[in-house]
Amino acid sequence: MLWFTVWTVLVLGAATGAFLLGRSLWRKVQDLGAAAAEASDAFARLADQVDALADAAGRAEPVRADLFDDTHVLRERVAELRREAAGRRVVRQLRHQETYTRWRAYSR
């Protein structure tokens, strides 16, 4: 009679443990599915944004240099790009000066 009670308790304990483990595993699988669906939606939105940016980049004037292009046109393009870079550099320097001024005022 003692062995029957011991084995019954062991079998019921194992069944209870298996049930709890299975339920936990099922919940984790459901959470994983929800996360995968959310990631899929995020990737779809990202793909839409990439397509929109690719279309916008395709509409922009492509910069292509060919071996047989007119050197005068290419030099003008380089000069234009350098002027744009210089303008951005000046704006960046002004922004840095303002930031440094604020930092100095704060540290005093």
11 and 35 part of one domain: yes
Q: Give the residue numbers spanning the domain of 72.
A: 65-107
Give the dihedral sign, CA 92/93/98/103: positive
For position 81, what pLDDT does the model report?
A: 92
Q: How many domains does the chain have?
A: 2
**Following CA atoms 7, 10, 16, 19 in sequence, which dihedral angle do they give, to the nearest 10 degrees?**
-90
83 and 46 part of one domain: no
pTM score, two decimals? 0.45
Q: What is the pLDDT along the chain (108 residues), one digit of tens a residue?
A: 889 999 999 999 999 999 999 999 999 999 999 999 999 999 999 999 998 888 877 776 666 667 777 888 888 888 999 999 999 999 999 999 999 999 998 877
User: What are 1's two structure tokens?
Assistant: 């009679």
Phi, psi angle pair for 90, to nearest 5° = -65, -45
52 and 72 part of one domain: no
User: What are 22's two structure tokens?
Assistant: 């299975």
19 and 47 part of one domain: yes
